[in-house]
Amino acid sequence: MSQILQILGALLVLVPFAWSQLGSLRLDSAAYLWSNAAGSGLLSAIAVSSYQWGFLLLELTWAMVSVGGLIKRVRQ
C-alpha cells in the first residue's frame, strides 16, 4: 500500500509539472498548486513514517510553497 501512495504522491507532483513545461498549465494556477500541495503533503507523511528526514525536508518545503501560492491566490 505504501508503494501505491508513493506513486500517487509523485504523480500529483510530476504530472502538473510536466503539463506546465509543455506550456498549457500555469505555475500559479489553482490546479497546479492544489496538486502539488496534495502530492507533496502525501509524500511528507510517508517520509515521516519512514524516518526519511532529507526527503521530508524536500517535500514539506514543496508543500508549504504550494500552500503559500494558494493563499496568495485567495488574497488576490
- Give tens-digit pLDDT for 32-64: 999 999 999 999 999 999 999 999 999 999 999
- The reported pTM is 0.90
More confident residue, 45 or 1: 45
Q: Whose grid coordinates read 504522491?
A: 9
What is the rounded distance in angstroms from the CA atom of residue 65 to the CA atom of residue 63?
A: 6
- Residue 2 has what pLDDT? 86
Q: Which amino acid is at 29?
A: S
Q: Does the pLDDT at position 1 exceed 90? A: no
The three three-digit cell numbers of residue 36, written as one number: 502539488
